[in-house]
Structure 1
Amino acid sequence: MNKSVISFCGLLLLLGLVPETLFSQITKSNYNYQEAFNPFFYTNNGNEYRSASGMPGPKYWQNAVDYKIAAKLNDQTHEISGTVTLEYTNNSPDELDFIWLQLDQNMFSQEGRGHQIVPLTKSRYGDAQSDFDGGYDIKSVKLSSGKDAEHLITDTRMQVFLPEPLKPNGGKTTISIDYSYIVPTYGADRTGVLKTQNGEIFAIAQWFPRVAVYDDILGWNVVPYTGPGEFYLEYGNYEVDITAPANHIVVLGGELLNPQEVYTPEQLKRLEQAKKSDKTVIIRSAEEVTQASSRPQGKKELTWKFRLEKAHDVAWASSPAFIIDGAKINLPSGKSSLALSAYPVESNGGNAWERSTEYTKASIEFYSKLLMEYPYPAAVNVAANLGGMEYPGIVFCSYKSKAAGLWGVTDHEFGHIWFPMIVGSNERFHAWMDEGFNTFINDLSTEAFNGGEYYRPMGDANRLAQALTRPDLEPIMSTPQSMQERNIGTLAYVKPGFGLTLLRNEILGPERFDRAFKAYIDRWAYKHPTPDDFFRTIENVAGENLNWFWRGWFKYNWRFDQAVRRVAYEGNDPANGVLITVDNLEKLPMPVVVDITTKSGDTHRVRLPVEIWERNSSWTFRYPSTEEVIAVQLDPDKVYPDHNPENNRWEAPAK
């Protein structure tokens, strides 16, 4: 044995550490602190459009579009026909030679890319009718001059060429499009037609040509719609006229402008009562659904007129089968909105949709206090043949849902009003920025609702880590189109939602996190944030460098595993204190929480910051115990995603 080894062993013996014990408990670590704490997380510096602090820059811009739509529903052929007139404003610094529009219904044509890539196995992103051949019939595209506009349709996109470049910094153009399409029975769980005993329920979305986003990140965002990636759209105002059979009731998330023309006098009276009531008011009862007198008489069709402002989409539903009820939503400013539910008799009773308005009201009131006030005059929950889908002011939820399931889907879909309806992130690329954020706030809302009626705590995060950090998972920061469909629930919803919970409760603390999270919403309301804008805002407002967390949890699929390697007394005497060595065995670092139990039965908690891993893969700390230690437990509350908790505990050998 050479002299240096003898000296090293002598030092260990002085500390009361036996070399044989040390060597026998060494476990190979995959951790690389230079990789984890590499300071160069951001690939771009701040600029005049997007500040390095996460705020919109002094020259931030985004384009805008206002829509006027007149459409008609043929409930016999399931055809929607209409005219959409859009006024587009180019606030960018660039001249635009053309405008791209989204034609989402083309996914349901036999030639649609989205249709062609639906697997033979069961998939959410298709249509139950395998032989269904849908898509838009674009009858005309005209400029404000009345002349036909040159245009080119490619799958779910249409390029409209302008006769003269659209000027930057406020240039405007108007385009009118006549179109029609057949509503798919089950349109990728976003839109569809449900048969009920009293007629069909039409849940109508992605139902008109919509302008694509032109931004400072990619220019035109022209990723085709194939189902998994949802939406990225410009904000504006909507005037919508829907003509439907007179026995139908039509609901939309905006302001109904002509209620006296489309409701009966008794329904109008009840509607006014609902606007003032904290309890659910029946506007059209289950018994009245089959009564002709519950609809205005003497006409075959009625036109429903709506207005929706400051929104980036609009959707609606129509049916002769609707029970309608409503209640007042109380907002923090003293203003109010109207919660409405529309559902068939099959969904009524047994702790099911008769509580939908109660759930809608509670959800929106909670988020309005926690985040930002709800912006729309109505919040409509529609029972449909969809699992759950959100649009501004209106959501579609499964008609089969009840109890905790109905609360959960209602709360989740209305949570989307804040992400991405108010905070307009790019869902085609960053599903986690709406689904994950929403999953996070849903947990807070469910805990608060009705004394926790449906709340079930997350429980053991160690066990959850087995699913969240499986080696075969793609990173969170993958597009939904490039995730295995079976992984989307984990990667877009659960894992980012848990990540925010971890950041709030364990890394930053609620006070710092809540202030930063709300700042992100305030900064980016009705704007288009990127992941960097979110990351930078949290870091700047909370005052914390979190590149190790963003990198490991969001950018990569890194695992986490801390282990107790050694427990030994200083000078081999329990009265001198205990030395505890903890290893970081996987690529993701985290703070350390340790419970130390002494012979007398007392338990003492020690917290160590994540910075101990900035230049170490193993860390020894001293705890000033004065008696024997009988147990050391890492992550005692099981709040960290440690996928291998077996090495988290040390117990003194029995004497």
Structure 2
Amino acid sequence: MKRKIILSLLLAGLGFAEVTKSIAQEVKENNQKEFGEFMDRKGTYSRTASGKPGVGYWQNAADYQIEATLDDQAHTLTGKVTMTYTNNSPEQLDFIWMQLEQNRFTEDSRGTLTTPIQGNRYNGDVDGGFEISNLEAKVGSKGAVSGKHIISDTRMQVWFAEPIPAKGGKATISMNFSFKIPQKGMDRMGRLEVEDGTIYALAQWYPKAAVFDQIEGWNVEPYLGAGEFYLEYGNFDYKITVPYNHIVVGSGELMNPKEVLSKELQDRYAKAKESDETVYLISPEEVGKTELTRPKQEGTVTWHFSIENSRDIAFASSKSFIWDAARINLPSGKKILAQSVYPRESDGQEAWSRSTEYSKASIEYYSKTWFEFPYSTATNVAAEIGGMEYPGLNFCHYNSKGAGLWGVTDHEFGHNWFPMIVGTNERRYAWMDEGFNTFINHYSTLAFNEGEYPSRLQQTRRSVSYFTNEGREGIDNYPDVVNTSNLGMVAYNKPAIGLILLREYILGPERFDNAFKSYIKTWAYKHPQPSDFFNHMENVGGENLSWFWQGWFYGNGNIDLAVNGVFPYAGNYLLSVANKGDMPMPVVYEVTYEDDTKERFTLPVEIWQRGDVWNHVIKTEKKIKGLVLDPDKILPDINVGNDSWPQVIYDN
């Protein structure tokens, strides 16, 4: 291999002359369009220009009481839901829209009909769907009862005999429901056959209220697959009746442990709540031995759970569960429970025996770093699901091990912050939950067990092949529209990389962390829009970032900063840099002197406002022997070959 050191063509007479000539010239063409506002982010009565809920912000609420019964012979769930709906909006409502997500599992659902012939991750059974009966809707406690409703795919419109009053009016909707539990539930829920029985992972299992907000009115996008959920907050009280030999775990707190657990299991449960080490409630050897763990030895038993200020609930039930748990220590001093349930096929120190350890570490890290976890339990469930999150409860794949199990567990628990605490619209803006969550996963992974597992975002330049691919798509595309092969970058990695750039390269950790924590606290249990996030980060971070939001989040261009050359200039040095990419970026560069000492400098992003070339005088008495842009390699710059001086080219 022959090594060539090219100092720069600009060192030649013509090149240097052009650089010095450009110093004296006034640039006539500017790049102001890249720095101007690209979307309407002005303050309104309901949402302020500083990215906070305004004095006119309102949000409706939905509280649920549910009773359901699992039939493990017919694989069905049957129940009754009673929802109390509070209309805090300034207008009266003649009807409400509800979500019937089990209707996705029918042959003629929009989701089925828009699934490619070759299939994708969101394939699902097509012999299911809700059966709804005895629907009653009334306003107030004495209003006339209406049964009028229209079911359209995964939505249901429920009409009232009289409107729900504005600004606090209440209505009650009740109905019976049943459905066949799909085996393949679009990688979000379903059932798994294991040696000791069936694992039922139940989600999207009850009719629920759609969101009515200040932006869209009723949010009625159908449930197709990739787009997830957008739900109102409320309190849930629910009871699940199962065969006596089942263990049930669910979102929230178990309210009747004495009725469903043997005395021995109650003692172990109490011990786990006081232990930082994982404690078996049901060991691998005890699976199926109901005389040790259940107070009842025939028939059915009802498990009662409750959770407050939540947007959803999920649960799992099986007779095949190993069950272990440990204490989670929250910053406030509160103690809650981390727990895992999994079959014997998933047992082992390289596998699910560490699940509770992972769960505890994840919840403790995010609570300490960003915002305290609000629920009483954090439960990890092994199922035939790649990874899916619900408030306080995950479904993760039962075959996951090692770094893979840590990664999926940490990711799904991270979703408790986005979108469970910060209630974004996942069906439209997947990047506001998947991307933000992938970002916080990066730091949690670096912190876990002193870096036991690597973060997949430690080297952002590994993604350059995607950024230069002609088939790439922008972050702002809706998840149901994006090519499924691009979804991982569009919804997860690219927005996460963007936040890493913002924290590590543009704002710095202190300013970023202040702004991001404030955003979470400000919008906890509320519904922010993209503009609210942009405005809040700018106002708390103290930086106009329109150029960044426009280029990275609402653009599809790339970063390519380049060194034109370094020249002797008036007893110092002149650095000429160029922006050859599609978006501006501050220039962080490191100089290496002849004595091998190094020094770093930053040129602000505003150097690109008036053109794509900038010349800067480096004042030093030392001799410069080398210079490199982005020395920590934070930027996913698509051309590393022009990032340094002297430029090094290797060829054969």
Amino acid in structure 2 at the alignment position of 1:449: F
Amino acid in structure 2 at the alignment position of 1:485: T
Q: Does 1:461 align with 2:460?
A: yes
- The 1:116/1:652 distance shift into structure 2, 3 A limit, reads closer
1:135 matched to which residue of 2? 129
Amino acid in structure 1 at the alignment position of 2:275: S
**SS of equivalent to 2:40:** coil
Contact 1:232-1:426 at 8 Å conserved across structures: yes
Contact 1:289-1:321 at 8 Å conserved across structures: yes
Superposed, 1:146-165 pairs within 5 Å as 147-165=145-163
Using the size of structure 2 for normalisation, the TM-score is 0.93
- The 1:627/1:232 distance shift into structure 2, 3 A limit, reads same
Amino acid in structure 2 at the alignment position of 1:465: V
Q: Which of 103, 106, 111 is the matching residue for 1:106? A: 103
Whole-angstrom CA distance in 2 between matches of 1:177 and 1:74: 19
**SS of equivalent to 2:473:** coil
Superposed, 1:239-254 pairs within 5 Å as 239-254=237-252
Superposed, 1:121-200 pairs within 5 Å as 121-127=118-124, 129=125, 132-144=126-138, 147-200=145-198
Amino acid in structure 1 at the alignment position of 2:248: V
Amino acid in structure 1 at the alignment position of 2:207: P
Contact 2:467-2:638 at 8 Å conserved across structures: no
Contact 1:17-1:568 at 8 Å conserved across structures: no
Deviations 1:201-242 (A, max 9, x none): 000000011100000000000000001011100000011010
Q: Does 1:509 align with 2:508?
A: yes
Amino acid in structure 2 at the alignment position of 1:262: V
Whole-angstrom CA distance in 2 between matches of 1:319 and 1:89: 35
Amino acid in structure 2 at the alignment position of 1:68: Q
1:86 matched to which residue of 2? 83
Q: Does 1:96 align with 2:63?
A: no
Using the size of structure 1 for normalisation, the TM-score is 0.93
Q: Does 1:553 align with 2:548?
A: no
2:382 matched to which residue of 1? 383
Contact 1:157-1:224 at 8 Å conserved across structures: yes
How far apart are residue 34 of structure 1 and its match?
A: 2.1
Superposed, 1:572-587 pairs within 5 Å as 576-587=571-582
Superposed, 1:514-553 pairs within 5 Å as 514-553=513-552
Amino acid in structure 1 at the alignment position of 2:85: Y
**SS of equivalent to 2:477:** coil
How far apart are residue 336 of structure 1 and its match?
A: 1.2
Whole-angstrom CA distance in 2 between matches of 1:23 and 1:611: 22
Whole-angstrom CA distance in 1 between matches of 2:60 and 2:97: 13
Whole-angstrom CA distance in 2 between matches of 1:278 and 1:646: 50
How far apart are residue 251 of structure 1 and its match?
A: 0.5
**SS of equivalent to 1:616:** coil
2:212 matched to which residue of 1? 214
**SS of equivalent to 2:485:** helix
Amino acid in structure 2 at the alignment position of 1:140: N
- The 1:507/1:110 distance shift into structure 2, 3 A limit, reads same
**SS of equivalent to 2:463:** helix
Contact 2:30-2:609 at 8 Å conserved across structures: no
Whole-angstrom CA distance in 1 between matches of 2:330 and 2:629: 44
Amino acid in structure 2 at the alignment position of 1:440: F
Structure 1, 578-587 or 195-204: larger mean CA deviation: 578-587
Amino acid in structure 2 at the alignment position of 1:622: V
2:3 matched to which residue of 1? none
Structure 1, 475-484 or 295-304: larger mean CA deviation: 295-304
1:478 matched to which residue of 2? 477
Superposed, 1:388-427 pairs within 5 Å as 388-427=387-426
How far apart are residue 388 of structure 1 and its match?
A: 0.5
Amino acid in structure 2 at the alignment position of 1:230: E
Deviations 1:441-467 (A, max 9, x none): 111111111121113474443343332
Contact 1:594-1:607 at 8 Å conserved across structures: yes
2:6 matched to which residue of 1? none
Whole-angstrom CA distance in 2 between matches of 1:107 and 1:372: 34
Contact 1:462-1:645 at 8 Å conserved across structures: no
**SS of equivalent to 1:476:** coil
Q: Does 1:57 align with 2:54?
A: yes
How far apart are residue 348 of structure 1 and its match?
A: 0.5
1:630 matched to which residue of 2? 625
RMSD: 2.1
Contact 2:137-2:158 at 8 Å conserved across structures: no
Amino acid in structure 2 at the alignment position of 1:169: K
Whole-angstrom CA distance in 2 between matches of 1:469 and 1:552: 15
Q: Does 1:69 align with 2:66?
A: yes
1:646 matched to which residue of 2? 641
Amino acid in structure 1 at the alignment position of 2:404: G
2:4 matched to which residue of 1? none
- The 1:628/1:335 distance shift into structure 2, 3 A limit, reads closer
How far apart are residue 292 of structure 1 and its match?
A: 3.4
Query: Which runs of 5 or more structure 2 residues have no equivalent in the other structure?
Result: 1-9, 22-28
Amino acid in structure 2 at the alignment position of 1:156: T
